[in-house]
Amino acid sequence: MSKDLKTILLVEDDPDDVNLTLRALNKSNINQEIVVANDGLEAIEYLFGEGKYADRDSSKIPELILLDLKLPKMDGIEVLKKLRSNDKTRTATVIILTSSKETEDIVECYKLCANSYIQKPVDFNLFLETVWILGRYWLNCNENVSSGG
């Protein structure tokens, strides 16, 4: 297993949120290719090379997975559970990016070894700042499994 250093997977169903998140990523000078999955199932298909992503080389996993919790077909918690129970994706960097700040959700995500949990702030400038920090930290500062071996 190795990480595809050129890709970020954004799992988000709302087109407005996709739009704004892409804008924020772009503004933060993050140049990786952004793949958008519109529901939990699509995210799984992409990561494991199934369905319409059957042609994809599933040995490569994205450098970063930005995962919303409230998703159609399969919710974020379920996606995380699947990733963590498969050797291929066990060590993927998963950042929960959601509106919810419910304690239950936070606890559940960390139990399932989410790398980080971020509540999207309403103020877009704050959101921008958050995405910028996120990019700097996870893409530039953090040593992850693929580059370490």
Partner 1 sequence: MKDKLNILILEDVALDAELMEYEMRREKIDFVSLIVETEKDFTEALNDFNPDIILADHSLPTFDGLSALKITKKLSPKTPFIFVSGKIGEEFAVEVLKEGATDYVLKNNLSKLVPALQRAINETKEQSERKNVEHALKKRDEQLRLITDNMLDIVIQIDSSGSIHYLSPSVKTVLGYDPDDILGLKISELVKFVHPNDIDEVKNGFEQVFSENTSSIEYRCRNVNNEYIWLEAIGNALSTNSKNLKGAVFVIRNINDRKIAEKRLKQYHDELEKRVADRTAELETMNKELESFSYSVSHDLRAPLRRIDGFSQALLEDYGDKMDEQGLYYLNRMRIASQRMAQLIDDLLELSRLTRSNIQIEDVNLSFIAENIANELKTSNPKRNVQFIIEDNVLVKGDSRLLKILMENLLDNAWKFTSHKDESIINFGTKNDNGRLIYFIKDNGCGFNMDESEKIFKPFHRINSENEFPGSGIGLATVQRIVNKHGGDIWAQGNMENGSIFYFTLNPKGDENE
Contacting partner 1 within 33-62 (CB under 8 A):
none
Residue 102 found at the interface with partner 1 (CB under 8 A)? yes
Instruction: Please answer whether residues 3 and 149 qualify as being in contact, where contact means their C-beta atoms are separated by less than 8 angstroms.
Output: no
Instruction: Please answer whether residues 40 and 78 qualify as being in contact, where contact means their C-beta atoms are separated by less than 8 angstroms.
Output: yes
Binding segment for partner 1 (CB under 8 A), chosen from 34-42, 79-87, 119-127, 136-144, is 119-127
Task: Name the residue nearer to partner 1 (CB basis): 5 or 128.
Answer: 128
CB of 88 to partner 1, least distance (A): 30
Residue 120 found at the interface with partner 1 (CB under 8 A)? yes
Q: Which of 29, 55, 87, 122 binds partner 1 (CB under 8 A)?
A: 122
Q: Which of 29, 57, 87, 125 binds partner 1 (CB under 8 A)?
A: 125
CB atoms within 10 A of CB 129: 14
CA of 117: how far to CAs of 52, 53, 99, in Å?
A: 29, 27, 11
Rg (CA), the chain: 14
CB of 7 to partner 1, least distance (A): 24
Binding segment for partner 1 (CB under 8 A), chosen from 73-81, 83-91, 99-107, 132-140, is 99-107
Phi, psi of 31 (to 5 degrees): -100, 0
Q: What is the DSSP letter of 52?
A: G
- Which residues have C-beta within 8 Å of that of residue 17, sequence separation ≥ 6? 68, 120
Sites of contact with partner 1 (CB under 8 A): 14, 16-17, 20, 23, 69-70, 98-102, 120-125, 127-128
